Chains A and B, each alone.
Chain A
Amino acid sequence: MNQLPFLVETEEKEKEICVYIHGDLDLASAPRLRETLLPLAEKDSRTLKVNLKNLHYMDSTGLGVFVAALKLRKIINGEMFLEEVPKKIQRIFQISGVDQYITIA
């Protein structure tokens, strides 16, 4: 029932993995991001780039997924950063303080 269908796409390259998130990231869709992002964050040592260009909405449930991913990255000492973050989404990262743990490119 989201305005736009929620979609998570991954693109694997030699030294990096790009994850593209489309639509609204909320309580209904967060489990689907969790399913894709957390196993990559936990096991893949390549640089993890998460592109939020087409993310139209995010609340604390989305922040929860990113924080969980960051904790997993820290364990394996893997890099992870966010790309093309829309201003309104950046604001949620900043207000909450999650922006201090993640690089927003």
Chain B
Amino acid sequence: MPELNDHVKINVPARADYISVIRLTVSGLAYQMGFTYNDIEDIKVALAEACNNVVSHAYKNSEVGEISVDFHVEVDRLQIIVSDEGAAFDAKKLKKEASSLHGKSLDEIDVGGLGIYLMKTLMDEIEYDTGEKGVKVSLTKYLKRDEVSESEPNVHQEIIQP
């Protein structure tokens, strides 16, 4: 079981087929921390979006890079830091452009900003740090204590629902 202040770190090659491994890892960790089924799904999508950005934007052509994912288990939250050592893309600009498609016509929409919009919407906190080498994205989700205590000891039953 994860304990307070546990730190789990995984590094994988920055390739699309490794993102499912990261999703599996965070599912297991968040499940053991007592996150609800819906929260686990939200965390999986948000984290995958951060990894998608690394795979799609961080490294140039033949450069073989890595995605580093640091999971910090806190008493009331899970903080995940996704970092790369690639050419820093303009995350601040992207963040500004990140929006949903609500109210736009099909002809004018561009799905480019949806990944960052989903990260912002699905997590409680999101921070960017664009350094000289690479980008760091911090994603935080809080455990909703009330929900956890109300549903105990059957907190994990939700997982079997479709």
- A-side residues, CB < 8 A to B, are 1-3, 24, 26-28, 57, 59-61, 63-64, 67, 70-71, 74, 86-88, 91-92, 95-98, 100-101
Smallest CB gap from B18: residue in A: A1
Sampled A-B contacts (13; CB under 8 Å): A3-B24, A24-B20, A24-B23, A26-B19, A26-B20, A27-B16, A57-B45, A60-B49, A67-B106, A67-B109, A74-B106, A100-B102, A101-B101
A7 to chain B, nearest CB (A): 15
Q: Interface residues, chain B, CB within 8 Å of chain A?
A: 16-21, 23-24, 38, 41, 44-45, 48-49, 51-52, 55-56, 100-104, 106-107, 109, 111, 114-115, 117-118, 121-122, 162
Instruction: Say yes or no: A57 contacts B102, CB within 8 Å.
Output: no
Contact at A96–B162, with CB atoms within 8 Å? no
Within 8 Å by CB of A28, from B17, B104, B122, lies B17
Cross-chain contact A100 with B101 (CB below 8 angstroms): yes
Question: For chain B, what secondary structure do more than half of its interface residues adopt (helix, strand, loop), or is it mixed?
Answer: helix
Give A28 to B55 CA distance when docked, in angstroms.
10
A100 to B18, CA, bound (A): 32
Given A57-B44, A70-B106: A97 touches B100 (CB 8 Å cut-off): yes
